Structure 1
Amino acid sequence: MIRYPFLKEGATIGVTAPSSGVPEDLHKLVEDACHRVKSMGYHVLCGNTVWTQNKVRSSSARFRADEFNTMMQDETIHLIFPPWGGELLIEMLEYIDFDNIQNKWIVGYSDISLLLLAITLKTGMATAHGTNFVDLRGDYSDETTLMWRSVLSTKKGGSILQHSSKNYQKEWQYDKPSPYVFHLNEPTHWNTVSNQSVKIQGRLLGGCMDSIRHIIGTPYGDVAAFRKNHLYNEPVIWFLENCEMLTTELRRTLVQMKLAGWFDQCSGIVFGRNPASTSVNGYTVEEVYDELAEELRIPIIYDIDCGHLPPQITFINGAYAEIETSDGKGTVLQHFR
């Protein structure tokens, strides 16, 4: 059984930084995002960790966890939305009060996906892999990004359909601010290993491989127990994305996930666009996907709207999904059951 939070109108959003905080010279990004989100009708409460950054952390692991636990247990806060990712969220996992996780959405990606996956695996509560809070600061939102509100406002028992984007952002252009935040100027094209139309069904799990691989073999990454206790042996669809790993490191990570049993009872894998796709001695990302599909005998879709080359479809860890792609376009239908 999966527990699904629900985002109501006028909800209060708690912004806390369980990984990296925001340095002083970038505080305006948070301020602009707060202003924009308030204009949508929400209330916003920022924690202390949002405004501090020492080297690669917003604060100590214990302080980050304490602030997160406080927001999680505060009944006046209905959604937890970190400003962005970072590098060392894993340090604070051991201090999270998993026994008192309340039924509220947590949203983010990159290093935040480690927190999302750990909470879903440990508690059976759905979590939302989607846009960063600071990326909501624009005067406008593209259609794909804007779906976060509709997805999180889907009631238990309901369904929500999302479509592949028309264009994506290939690189950040910080010197050329956009009212949409992103510069969506590259045509989106979902690809498959088989070069044919694909449909996959199953329960969603996933995140940024750079981060989530580090809970393999720990109490926070027990996928087998999650399948047994919450999915009743339903198949899993993994949605995965790579931020910085070279092709060979990506291959090692996927083999490790396979050996750890994470791909047992897997009906398919979808990979986000890869910003670190440089080949190593001619060994390409596409070859990694080909090899994995052959080994697991499952369909693989890649270059989907997920990860560090926005925009992002909002994927719900724990939701039952039907993912289809044909002629470079795709849909994600999620059922909150």
Structure 2
Amino acid sequence: MPASRRRLLQLAATALPAAAAQATPSAATAPLRAPRLRPGDTLGLVSPANATFEREPLRMAIESLQALGFKVKPGAFVAARRGPFAGTDEQRAADLNAMFADDSVAGILAMTGGSGCNRIVDKLDYDLIRRTPKFFGGFSDLTSLVNAIHRRTGLVTFHSPVAASEWNDYSVQGFKAVVMNAEAAVLRNPAVRPADDLVAREERIATIRPGRAQGRLVGGNLTVLASLAGTPYFPDCRGALLFLEDVNEYIYRIDRCLSTLRLAGALDQLAGVVLGRFTKCEPGEGYGSLTLDEVFDDYFLPLGVPVFRGAAIGHIRRKMTVPVGALAEMDAQTGTIRLLAPAVT
């Protein structure tokens, strides 16, 4: 390749990140925090992803949020449907924008995950969101929105249970500590005592590389996150603590998504890695498969940063509420994430 052409390609490769950095908050910028949620506040209920096909799950979700002490305002299209989605792309984005614009709404929670959030990530009013910071939470397919909103506005968002999740005591207490009580909480797995066994077999932490590290929390569902690579909505991974989870993916697909993050340059920038649950992520058909242990070792050990596996993050009953964009310290030996400041005001 001629030297002049090589130089042009180098300039083009550096121009895009520089332009994006001018339009979005940098890793050094102080995060924008929403007011904490309080009992009696109105929580907006939206469905940016899949439709809810029966009435009863929607009623149960509203009852759960009311039991948490909130008034609930369903979005205009929360019960809509177009194919698998809760309405058209325009309707789902309009619901979310309307909730941020509504002064009576203190925070916004997704009804469920599924798919479709990537279709509306470029339809949100990020200037409006920056002017009216509010709690916004969800997990799974909501990974794209919680990371995009933080990347484009600096607002701390929340990888949290969705409204349709099981609101067991562990999930409720974690949500209250981080979102309602404004605690600089320590996020750790639920304590499980074996009923009739020599060792605990649930909620276990596995240290892949020991150590402590500080940085901003980014991440969520691995396949959704990888689908954002190369876009202005992908998180800034410089000095970050990356947390990942997934469900129902063959191991070779987990490998492929991690290779996407590596080739995008995201992994080399990290301060630490927290791996949640990779539920039903098993070998596919064929001549054989790497194990998840081997895949994680291949991608994360060469980074030389602390890494642990088994955090209560993912498609599981008992879930942490993890603030995306908040400064935290991870300890790979104890399997904990300590918030260095409250994630809400």
What TM-score results when the alignment is normalised by the length of structure 1?
Answer: 0.83
Q: State the partner residue of 2:184.
A: 159
Q: State the partner residue of 2:323.
A: 316
| Higher Rg | 2
Q: State the partner residue of 1:255.
A: 259
Q: How does 1:119-134 map to 2 (within 5 A)?
A: 119-134=149-164
Q: What code does the residue aligned with 1:72 have?
A: F
The reply on whether 1:334 has 2:339 as its aligned counterpart is yes
C-alpha deviation, 1:99, in angstroms:
1.2
The reply on whether 1:23 has 2:30 as its aligned counterpart is no
Q: State the partner residue of 1:3.
A: 32
Equivalent position SS for 1:135: coil
The reply on whether 1:266 has 2:270 as its aligned counterpart is yes
CA distance in 2, matches of 1:257, 1:145: 32
Q: Deviations over 1:24-55 (max 9, x none)?
A: 2xx21221232232233211011133223333
Q: How does 1:96-175 map to 2 (within 5 A)?
A: 96-101=124-129, 102-136=132-166, 141-155=168-182, 159-166=184-191
Match of 1:207 among 181, 195, 220: 220
Q: 1:325 to 1:94 in 2, by over 3 A?
A: closer
CA distance in 2, matches of 1:166, 1:132: 23
CA distance in 1, matches of 2:268, 2:57: 41
C-alpha deviation, 1:261, in angstroms:
2.2
CA distance in 2, matches of 1:319, 1:100: 21
CA distance in 1, matches of 2:208, 2:235: 28
CA distance in 2, matches of 1:304, 1:222: 21
Asked if the contact 1:268/1:298 (under 8 Å) is kept, the reply is yes
CA distance in 2, matches of 1:118, 1:285: 28
CA distance in 1, matches of 2:52, 2:298: 40
Q: What code does the residue aligned with 2:203 have?
A: T
Equivalent position SS for 2:73: strand
CA distance in 1, matches of 2:235, 2:336: 29
CA distance in 2, matches of 1:325, 1:142: 25
Q: Deviations over 1:249-305 (max 9, x none)?
A: 211211211221222431111111111331351311110111112332222211210
CA distance in 1, matches of 2:59, 2:234: 35
Q: Give the fraction of aligned pairs with identical amino acids, expressed as a percent.
A: 25
Q: 1:167 to 1:113 in 2, by over 3 A?
A: farther
Q: What code does the residue aligned with 2:155 have?
A: M
The reply on whether 1:300 has 2:307 as its aligned counterpart is yes
Q: How does 1:175-254 map to 2 (within 5 A)?
A: 187-194=202-209, 197-221=210-234, 223=236, 235-254=239-258
> How many corresponding residue pairs?
301
Q: State the partner residue of 1:12.
A: 42
Asked if the contact 1:154/1:160 (under 8 Å) is kept, the reply is no
Equivalent position SS for 2:248: coil
Q: State the partner residue of 2:99.
A: 71
CA distance in 1, matches of 2:71, 2:172: 20
Equivalent position SS for 2:52: coil
Q: Which moved more, 1:94-103 or 1:317-326?
A: 317-326
CA distance in 2, matches of 1:291, 1:263: 12
The reply on whether 1:87 has 2:112 as its aligned counterpart is no
Asked if the contact 1:144/1:162 (under 8 Å) is kept, the reply is no
Q: 1:68 to 1:23 in 2, by over 3 A?
A: same
Flag structure 1 segments of 5+ consecutive residues without an equivalent: 169-184, 228-234
Q: Deviations over 1:303-323 (max 9, x none)?
A: 210011231111111111122
Q: What code does the residue aligned with 1:131 have?
A: P
CA distance in 1, matches of 2:244, 2:114: 17
CA distance in 2, matches of 1:163, 1:95: 35
Equivalent position SS for 2:64: helix
C-alpha deviation, 1:167, in angstroms:
5.2
